[in-house]
Chains A and B, each alone.
Chain A
Amino acid sequence: MGLELYLDLLSQPCRSIYIFARSNNIPFEFKHVELFKDSVLGKRPAAGSGAEQPRAGPSNSEGTGKVSLLKKVPALKDGDFTLAECTAILLYLSRKYNTPDHWYPSDIQKRARVDEYLSWHHANIRANAPKTMWIKVLIPLFTGQPLPSEKLQEVMEGLSASLKQFEERFLQDKAFIIGSEISLADLVAIVELMQPVGVGCDIFEDRPRLMEWRRRVEDAVGKELFFQAHEMLLNIKELSNIQIDPQLKEQLAPVLMKMLK
């Protein structure tokens, strides 16, 4: 049994792992997890630090522990070893498969820049970008409530502020975050920024420098692979037709209503 990656490509961290693994020809078994179809109870992979039950905790969090029901992806299983958290998985793969240096440079200062971005990302880009999907698509879908436009405005403002910092502090005038070559930092950033695009908030529209960077990242990983990874997201309207697991709907509705506050 080789490397298994548990992924749902609607999830940003899952896409970065998928793109990274495919782009580097890392052999893995794609374990497709459909977050909105599979009941989160009992069908989860036994991902975790040796825990036998389905994981309820460690995985990418969108800022609210209560929605941890969905946070079973991404997950990695390599023999007996299981691992959660996008950054940890990307780093594990880069080390185990000796991927080209630029992904996570051995140069101490360049590496520090990647670490710096990967850390800042959590409380900034990742704090806001995912909410666009919750607010525009998921909340209306799960609760039957109309789209709360004020809330969306708030989130877009927060995201704008983060994007400004991203451009001024992290990207600046460079081709990529660390300089002339793509690294894990760019990959983690881009998949997150595609989330609002997928739900109709095109944040690249009025930001030419960001758009140029996006084109470079797509070229670096392979345009075809990039689009394939984002296909589900870019066809999000299909989600409305999906049969949502009623148990999941019941569990999430109150949590999502709270998010609307």
Chain B
Amino acid sequence: MGLELYLDLLSQPCRALYIFARSNNIPFEFKRVQLMKGQHKTEEFRKVNMLMKVPALRDGSFTLAESIAILLYLTQKFKTPDHWYPSDLQKRARVDEYLSWQHANIRMKGSKVFLTKVLLPILTGQPLSAEKLEFVIEDLNVILKQFEEKFLQDKPFIAGSEISLADLVALVELMQPVGAGYNLFEERPKLAEWRRRVEEAVGKELFQEAHEEIMNIKNLTADQFAPELLESFKQQFLKLISQN
């Protein structure tokens, strides 16, 4: 039994992993875990990750959660090209800096736009609150500004002249609000250029394939969720939205 990656491509961190592994020709078995069907709560999956989250990795008897940890594990185990996680002390620190900062910033704010615009209206049956959406979009805009000014600046990629884990992790997160219909790249030419560079670096076709589901998310309807989970999803997301 070789490397197994447990993924749902609707999830941003799962996409980062999928793209990274495929782009580097890392052999793995794709184990699909459909969150909407509650497949992350099965006994079988709990054996892989008792935190019941995707992505998760299983490599023989070794199991691992958290996309950042998994990405770093793969770079080491499969000795991927240096630029992904540069051995240069300062460049590596830049990647670490972004990977740390993003949790509570790009990831959180991008997810909130997605939840507010797509998931909550479906789960609550309530129409989308324009005020709430404006609020979460503004929040995201502030973070995008910081991203451009502090992390990207005038460089082609976050760590410098080559793509690294930081860029991949950043872009898949930004695609979530894009899938939800907030085209944040539209009036941000520098960001749009960076996005093009990242897509090319990993392979346009692979990038698009990984994002096919999320880009069609507007077609989502309540009946695609396992009915017994609708209420718990709703509560979970309402709670997430209300957190700072």
Chain A interface residues toward B at CB < 8 A: 48-51, 55-66, 68, 81, 83-89, 91-92, 95-96, 108-109, 111-113, 115-116, 118-120, 122-123, 126-127, 165, 168-169, 259
Contacts and interface: CB of A to CB of B under 8 A. Distances in A.
B239 to A, nearest CB: 9
A59 B69 CA distance: 20
Interface centre among B73, B98, B101, B243 (most CB of A within 10 A): B101
B150 A57 contact: yes
Nearest to B77: A108
Given A49-B94, A91-B96, A127 B243 contact: yes
Interface centre among B67, B105, B109 (most CB of A within 10 A): B105
Given A85-B101, A123-B103, 12 more contacts: A49-B97, A57-B101, A57-B150, A58-B101, A58-B151, A62-B104, A68-B146, A83-B97, A85-B100, A112-B64, A118-B100, A165-B51
Contacts of A169: 50-51
Given A63-B243, A85-B97, A91-B96, A116 B65 contact: yes
B244 A64 contact: yes
7 contacts: A56-B146, A61-B104, A63-B108, A85-B100, A88-B97, A92-B93, A116-B66
B89 interface: yes
Interface centre among B67, B68, B97 (most CB of A within 10 A): B97
Contacts of B3: none
Q: Is the interface of A mostly helix, strand, loop or mixed?
A: helix
A87 B96 contact: yes
Interface in B21-80: 50-51, 62, 64-70, 72-73, 76-77
Contacts of B208: none
B205 interface: no
A119 B67 contact: yes
B104 A57 contact: no
Contacts of B76: 108, 111
A83 B139 CA distance: 24
Contact of B146 (A50, A64, A65, A120): A65
Contact of A88 (B50, B100, B103, B105): B100
A92 B92 CA distance: 8
Contacts of A58: 97-98, 101, 146, 150-151
Contacts of B108: 63, 123
Interface centre among A58, A95, A96, A169 (most CB of B within 10 A): A58
Interface residues of B, number: 40
B96 A65 contact: no
A96 B150 contact: no
Interface centre among B50, B93, B143, B150 (most CB of A within 10 A): B93
Contacts of B105: 61, 65
Given A65-B109, A108-B73, A119-B68, A259 B96 contact: no
Interface string B91-121: 0111011111101110011000000000000
B222 interface: no
A63 B64 CA distance: 25
B104 A91 contact: no
Contacts of A81: 90, 93
Contact of A65 (B92, B94, B103, B139): B139
A49 to B, nearest CB: 6
Interface centre among B103, B142, B149 (most CB of A within 10 A): B103
Contacts of A113: 69
A109 B74 CA distance: 11
Nearest to A170: B51
B97 A119 contact: no
B153 interface: yes
Nearest to B101: A58
A122 B101 CA distance: 9
B244 A63 contact: yes
A208 B141 CA distance: 45
Contact of A115 (B66, B90, B104, B150): B66
